A and B are shown apart, each in its own frame.
Chain A
Amino acid sequence: DTAVSQTPKYLVTQMGNDKSIKCEQNLGHDTMYWYKQDSKKFLKIMFSYNNKELIINETVPNRFSPKSPDKAHLNLHINSLELGDSAVYFCASGLLGVAGNEQFFGPGTRLTVL
């Protein structure tokens, strides 16, 4: 009964490949997020979806394309992977309309691009 789950946990791939990471939440939240945590542990938001609608799109290369088939799922597809994409990617969820509501994070996907 994991609240926010991500697959895969580890992803090792070659430069130039295309890969996807999946995220699911069973908390009934209406908003989901993707974060990137780099090797220095800095955490930066990439995207956010509210009820399947994109509401936050930070300065991210358009090789990254999020997709939300429903409000419980948010996937991240990455085209033409580069060395600099190596990082840990975290999915999170929350309730947008609740002021000050905290986010719940998944366990992360460690992406290594060789």
Chain B
Amino acid sequence: AQSVAQPEDQVNVAEGNPLTVKCTYSVSGNPYLFWYVQYPNRGLQFLLKYITGDNLVKGSYGFEAEFNKSQTSFHLKKPSALVSDSALYFCAVRDGPSGTYKYIFGTGTRLKVLA
């Protein structure tokens, strides 16, 4: 079965510094990978996805992610963190045969950007 792992429960970074939130995956076949963000008391919002093509994917709010097949990773990055980026971030992979797609979410990483 497909799975994703987020090895860090929390990441702290100073405002203005680059940030990385890690995700590794385990899939059979080609992976469809996603990042979502959850602000307090809100639903999840889609940030970006990797389906195929360029390994560097750009998304909302200045975020990007790099797909690395050899390391089975899909780390989320931003060149310069903002305090408003503080939130819970989920990596997800699409699972299931055609017709029953479901999304497997990682355990989440809490990002704290310190002023």
CA distance A105 to B88 in the complex (A): 15
Contact B103 A107 (CB under 8 A): no
* Chain A residue nearest in CB terms to B46: A102
Chain A 8-26, CB-CB to B under 8 Å as 1, else 0, gives 0000000000000000000
* Interchain nearest-CB distance for B34 vs A (Å): 6
Using C-beta atoms within 8 Å of the partner chain, give the interface range for chain B. Answer: 20 to 34
Total A residues in contact with B, Cβ cutoff 8 Å: 25
Closest CB in chain B relative to A110 CB, distance in Å = 8
Bound-state CA distance A105–B90 (Å) is 13
Q: Kindly provide the distance from the CB of B89 to the nearest chain A CB, expressed in whole angstroms.
A: 11
Nearest B residue to A103 via CB reads: B103
Distance in Å: Cβ of A112 to nearest Cβ of chain B: 14
Min Cβ gap B11→A in Å is 15
* CB interface residues, A 61-111, toward B, < 8 Å: 90, 92, 96, 99-100, 102-108
User: Is there an interface contact between B102 and A43, defined as CB atoms closer than 8 Å?
Assistant: no
Q: Which residue from B96, B100, B108 sits with its C-beta under 8 Å from A42?
A: B108
* Contact assessment for B42 and A107 in the assembled complex, using a CB-CB cutoff below 8 Å: yes
State the CA gap A90–B41 with chains docked (Å): 11
Chain B residues closer than 8 Å to A45, beta-carbon distance: 102-104
Residues of A at the B interface (CB closer than 8 Å) are 4, 31, 33, 40-45, 48, 50, 55-56, 90, 92, 96, 99-100, 102-108
Q: List 23 A-B contacts (CB under 8 A).
A: A4-B43, A31-B101, A40-B107, A42-B108, A43-B44, A43-B90, A45-B102, A48-B102, A55-B99, A55-B100, A90-B43, A96-B99, A96-B101, A99-B32, A99-B51, A100-B51, A103-B103, A104-B46, A105-B43, A105-B45, A108-B41, A108-B42, A108-B43
